[in-house]
Structures are given as structure tokens and as C-alpha cells.
Structure 1
């Protein structure tokens, strides 16, 4: 079994969405998961697998477990960029076994990370949209990130979806992709709390990477 991260979620207030809107939301999450697979973070393999669960649920497996907070925020930002959508996210890190079917659908995988992530989603308090099962510093970071990010505007979410990628370009590169001014990008990132979020993510990923290497 390899050490992975699993993110399990569902679309908030999905009964108020049309079938087409629900499909749009879940497709946005799938596309974001595919983008994570193309990330290059400190030479770490970031392969991901995405699958739908039930009517409004989803699950993603991330091979680079230390990137769980970055990935969770990226998925949230990508979803909020696509429309007035929100998702709960329950993350867990640990062991996971991927058989042949699980290479394209995490519903066929098993292991502690999958079990803990699914159970955490079922136990999330009503007022909490994002949490990690590990406890301690990582869980605290998820709580604070949840509080900061859940009120992002669509413009802020669009800017953050670009800024959260490890291989992000300059603010001018982001402005060109979004077809807005560099000043507008800077303002959106500042309002979204990017500087603090980025700093926290870097510290967490460094610690988790060093811990994994020492194990």
C-alpha cells in the first residue's frame, strides 16, 4: 500500500440545482482534478483519480499526500469559478490500494485513507465545509482555510485557481489568462487572503515532505 491523500465531498444544496447544473459542478471538479495531475511540485508525482459517488458526491485520490490542503483549495476555487457552487471536502491521508479498476475510478479502491475520508464527510458538522481527518496542525489549517475561502467571490476564486498551482506564473501571466488587468489580479488575490494561505501551505508541505522522508 502507498501513502496517498483522499478527498471526499458532495455538492452543497444540490437539491436546489438542476440536473444540468449538478453535472456542470461535478465536471468542474473532475477537470480540476485532471489539472492537479499535471502539477509539478518539488519533483513529486501528483497523479490524481476522480470519481462520482451517488447523485451529488465525488471522491478524488491524490498520490502526493502532502498537497492535500493545496488540492482541496484548488478544487474549491475551480468549482466556485464555474458558477454559484460550493462543496464539502473531507480529506484523509494514509494507505490506499489501487487495483486495475481503481486506476480510473476511486470507488474501486480501498485502504485507510478512503475509509477515513468517507467517514469524516458523514461526520462533518453542519457549519463546517472542509476538514482533515488527521487532527493537529493539518486539521487546524483546513479549518482556517475553510473559513477564509468559503466567501470568495467568483473573481477571487478564478484568481486563486491559477495562483494555487505550484507552477503558477507571474501575476501578469494570470492576468493574460483571465483577460483582466494585473492590478485586478493583485486585488483579487489580496482580498482572497492569498499571501497568508500560500505561506501556510508552503510550511505544511515542507513539514509533511520532510516527515515522509525521515520515515
Structure 2
């Protein structure tokens, strides 16, 4: 981070069925995740410091934690755009940091990094509801945040590769390009883009994300 924010969000992910994907497909997945992190730097105003974490895992840090839920869905979209067999478990935590972050998040020791890892571990050990997105927290916001993640996980789990490709662009926070400009970017008609976004539940997802971000953003 170019400055030390009061709080950051940390996402710790692990590819679903990485053994079954095979080495070449895992490499494709990590390329897509890294590209997504690079695109999100424009949202955050700083690098996410995308770091490979424990084999087939990955981790990023967000200087604007209010965008954490949007980030989770963007990473899912980036993977789903590759095909139906691509997805990631994602553990999320929000907390303070004590100093500027280095380029390798594996070297960070603030509790928020461990908390995000614990969230991922809870998913993989079956200690949570059957969701691939899980929030680790202890404050009063934990329940509502996790309830929202359960719903977002359900709405996004069935995205097709075509829908996900469009969503990699559409999930950028406002102001975003018009549907016409978005259609030109993905090489599809405006009507096709609108139909795909409706089928992917994007209007409802965007309303939920915008409401969360409005109330979570710093004054």
C-alpha cells in the first residue's frame, strides 16, 4: 500500500479440485486470478499484491475493504470465464494493519492475514454452511456479512462461462462503462449482454453490493 489504511480486507483463496484440473489448467487459473487482481488495482488505488499462497492457494490485500465482497465475485467470475470446472474457495477477513505491506503477502503477520486463512480452512474442513465464500469476524457485523456472502455465493455459483466473461467487466464499481461500451469490449451485442447479466442475477447482486459499500465506506 502507498499508505497504511486503518483497515484492510484480506482474501485467501484455494482452487477447487486443483488436482483434477491438471498443471496446465492450474496455470491458466492463476493467470486469470493475477489479471483480475491487476484490474482491481484501479478500484483500490493500489496493487492488491497478488501472492501465490501454500501451493495452489492465493492471497490479496484490499486497501478499500468496503469493496471486498465485490472483489470475491470478480475473482470467481475470472475463473468461471475459463470454464465450468474452475472456481475457488475464498476466505475473507477485515482488520487493522500496523505498517505498509510488502510485495509478498506470505511475509505479513498482522492478525487479519491469519483470520482470512482461518476462514478458508473453515470452508475446506466443512465447518461452515455449504458455501465457497466465508467471512471470519467477531464483531456485530459478522452475522450480516456472512449472511450476505451465503446469498452471493448461491447467486453466483451457477454463472456460465459466457456470463462470467461479461461479469469480469460489469462487476467494476461505479462509474462503469455503459452496456453499449461493455458489449463492444466483450464482442457481443448489447441485447446479448443485457440478457446474460439478467440471467446471472447481476441487477440484484449490484443492488446488494452498492448498499453494502455505501454503508461500509469511510466518512
1:146 and 2:153 equivalent?
yes
Task: Please list the CA deviations of residues 8-37 of structure 1 after superposition, one character each: whole Å capped at 9, or x if unmatched.
Answer: 010001110121111110121111011100
Q: Deviations over 1:46-87 (max 9, x none)?
A: 541110112211111111111000011011101111333110
Q: Which stretch shows the higher mean deviation, 200-209 or 162-171?
A: 162-171
The 1:104/1:78 distance shift into structure 2, 3 A limit, reads same
1:101-154 Cα offsets, whole Å, 9 max, x none, are x53211111212111100111111373201111322111111100011011000
Q: CA deviation at 1:159?
A: 1.4
Which consecutive residues of structure 1, in runs of 5 or more, have no partner in the other structure? none
**Aligned twin of 2:112:** 113
Matching residue of 1:60: 60
Aligned to 1:131: 134
Contact 2:7 / 2:95 at 8 angstroms: preserved in 1?
A: yes
Q: CA separation in 1, counterparts of 2:58 and 2:97?
A: 17
1:165-204, aligned counterparts within 5 Å? 165-166=172-173, 167-204=175-212
- How many residues are aligned here? 205
Q: CA deviation at 1:97?
A: 4.2
User: Which 10-residue stretch deviates more, 189-198 or 111-120?
Assistant: 111-120
Listed one character per residue, the Cα deviations across residues 168-215 of structure 1 (whole Å, up to 9, x for unaligned) are 201111110111111110011000001110001011011111xx43xx
Q: Would you identify which runs of 4 or more consecutive aligned residues in structure 1 move more than 6 Å?
A: none
The alignment partner of 1:88 has SS state of strand
User: What RMSD, in angstroms, separates the aligned Cα atoms of the two structures?
Assistant: 1.6
Q: Does structure 2 conserve the Cα–Cα contact (< 8 Å) formed by 1:98 and 1:110?
A: no
For the pair 1:71 / 2:74, whether they are aligned, the reply is: no
Q: CA deviation at 1:98?
A: 5.0
Q: Displacement of 1:88 after TM fit?
A: 0.5
| SS state at 1:85 partner | coil
Q: Is the 8 A contact 2:15 2:56 kept in 1?
A: yes
Out of 7, 14, 17, the residue aligned to residue 10 of structure 1 is: 14
